[in-house]
Amino acid sequence: MTKINDRKTEIITVAAKLFKEKGYSAVTMRDIAQAMDIKAASLYNHIKSKQEILVLIIVEIAEEFTQTMDEVVHSEESTIKKIEKIIQLHIDITLRDANALACLNNDWMHLSDTELAYFIKMREEYEENFRTIIKKGIADNEIKNLNLEVIIFSILSTLRTLYLWYGKKKSPDSKTLTSNMIQVLLNGIVIH
Amino acid sequence: MTKINDRKTEIITVAAKLFKEKGYSAVTMRDIAQAMDIKAASLYNHIKSKQEILVLIIVEIAEEFTQTMDEVVHSEESTIKKIEKIIQLHIDITLRDANALACLNNDWMHLSDTELAYFIKMREEYEENFRTIIKKGIADNEIKNLNLEVIIFSILSTLRTLYLWYGKKKSPDSKTLTSNMIQVLLNGIVIH
């Protein structure tokens, strides 16, 4: 990787952390430069605007989610296996890049027109693909015939906000996290 | 209710909607006045600052959650019944006041020192009370012996972000929402 790309990665990393702490609107290019211990003018050598940073943070991760979901929905596996893969995808990205996920969740609405439309399209397709998976599971008698939206968003809400709590004091290790998350989301918590 | 209190309620309602749409930092007192079709100066007759509005929105709801959780944790009911009551609490507040919940979730970090500390204390106690309920459920052989944090936050994440999707096109009616949410969160989605 060239030095310029290293610098860009550093900007993105620092900015994602600041956006997470203070929110996109409250952070200035000057804040980002200060956190990197460089002059604001130097920052503009690498990046056009705060908006460009936001796009780099959010769109890259959204595309990663989109691509993996596409593979999963078109695979020949059982519904249970497909859901397990989606749980694993969210856990992997959370462990790797929690600040960027926070930024995606909190600040996506600050993307400008074209990028915003692209992001929303990806997000809707992701949810629609997840619906397709669950519908097939219900048809195949693998999944209970409950309301589709409740199923979809109970699972997605849990996965999308994992970054909010995972890593705090009482968190389990990543292996326990994965196996227990699959247990809780698929089989519930009640002993019958 | 006096006219002044009506006005205050209106300010809170309008502000919560604006905060939800643009985020607390991006909204000015002028924006709030404009949305109410009054002069900014008149706004200050009713409310000191944007911060006071934020406190009124967030703290009131946080206290409602705290109080009901206190009653539930000290009741003599089964763990399952306790969890069902907590699910119902979140659904009720979401149906009644989705904008305020959005504001609580997105903008709590913008509360100033004392109020922020008070809010964080309430939130931590809420989670701790929920842990107490689940621990007792595990001890009583009602709940599976899975990782406590995964159980707590799978349920709470789903309930806390219900306002994000409930009310959109494919949403079920509120009765279906409650019964299906209890099913999904307690018993899971897989047919064995």
Residue at token pair 């204390």: B121
Q: Give the Cα separation of A161 and A91 in Å (integer).
A: 10
State chain B's mean pLDDT as an integer: 94
- Closest of B27, B8, B7, B25 to residue B17, by C-alpha: B27
Asked if A24's CB is within 8 angstroms of B151's CB, the reply is no
Residues in chain B: 192
State pLDDT tens for residues B52-90: 999 999 999 999 999 999 999 999 999 999 999 999 999
Q: Which band of pLDDT confidence, cut at 50, 70 and 90, is reported for residue B22?
A: confident
Asked if B188's CB is within 8 angstroms of A185's CB, the reply is yes
State pLDDT tens for residues A77-120: 999 999 999 999 999 999 999 999 999 998 898 999 999 999 99
- Closest of A97, A22, A18 to residue A53, by C-alpha: A18
Asked if B191's CB is within 8 angstroms of A190's CB, the reply is no
pLDDT at residue B7 in the model: 86
The dihedral sign for the CA sequence A147, A151, A152, A154: positive
Residues in chain A: 192
For A121, the token pair is 């399209």
Q: DSSP string of chain B?
A: --HHHHHHHHHHHHHHHHHHHH-GGG--HHHHHHHHTS-HHHHHHH-S-HHHHHHHHHHHHHHHHHHHHHHHHHS-S-HHHHHHHHHHHHHHHHHH-HHHHHHHHHHGGGS-HHHHHHHHHHHHHHHHHHHHHHHHHHHTTSB----HHHHHHHHHHHHHTHHHHTTSTTPPPHHHHHHHHHIIIII-SB--
pLDDT at residue B74 in the model: 97
pLDDT at residue B77 in the model: 97
Q: Which band of pLDDT confidence, cut at 50, 70 and 90, is reported for residue B2?
A: low
Nearest-Cα distance to chain A for B20, in Å, is: 11
For B115, the token pair is 């109020």
List, in order, residues 6 or more apart from A73 with CB less than 8 Å away. A82, A129, A132, A133
Residue of A nearest to B128 (CA): A170
State pLDDT tens for residues A116-133: 999 999 999 999 999 999
Substitution target in A150, A160, A174 with the highest count of B β-carbons within 10 Å is A150
pLDDT at residue B171 in the model: 93
For A125, the token pair is 């397709």
pTM score of the predicted model: 0.91
**Separation in Å, CA B46 to CA B4, B5, B17, B100:** 7, 9, 18, 19
State pLDDT tens for residues B85-135: 999 999 999 999 999 999 999 889 899 999 999 999 999 999 999 999 999
State pLDDT tens for residues A144-178: 999 999 999 999 999 999 999 998 888 999 999 99
Asked if A180's CB is within 8 angstroms of B147's CB, the reply is yes
pLDDT at A22 over 90: no
pLDDT at residue A6 in the model: 84
pLDDT at A2 over 90: no
DSSP bridge partners of A190: B143
Nearest-Cα distance to chain A for B129, in Å, is: 15
Per cent of chain B over pLDDT 70 is 98
Per cent of chain A over pLDDT 90 is 85
Is the ipTM beyond the 0.95 threshold? no
Q: Give the Cα separation of A101 and B105 in Å (integer).
A: 16
Q: Rounded to 5 degrees, what are φ and ψ at B161?
A: -110, 10
Neighbours of B49 (CB within 10 A): 11
Q: Give the Cα separation of A83 and A150 in Å (integer).
A: 15
For A155, the token pair is 């699972």
Q: Which domains does chain A have, with CATH numbers?
A: 50-187 (1.10.357.10)
Q: Which band of pLDDT confidence, cut at 50, 70 and 90, is reported for residue B169?
A: confident
**Separation in Å, CA B131 to CA B104, B127, B149:** 22, 6, 8
Contact present, A103 and A132 (Cβ < 8 Å): no
- Closest of B135, B152, B129 to residue B73, by C-alpha: B129
pLDDT at B12 over 60: yes
Mean pLDDT computed over B150-169 = 95
Mean pLDDT computed over B162-179 = 94
In eight-state DSSP terms, residue A7 is H
Nearest-Cα distance to chain B for A2, in Å, is: 36
End-to-end CA gap in chain A: 55
pLDDT at A3 over 80: no
pLDDT at residue B37 in the model: 94
Q: Give the Cα separation of B180 and A146 in Å (integer).
A: 6
Higher pLDDT, A65 or B24: A65
Residue of B nearest to A146 (CA): B180
- Closest of A192, A132, A182 to residue A159, by C-alpha: A182
Q: Which band of pLDDT confidence, cut at 50, 70 and 90, is reported for residue A5?
A: confident
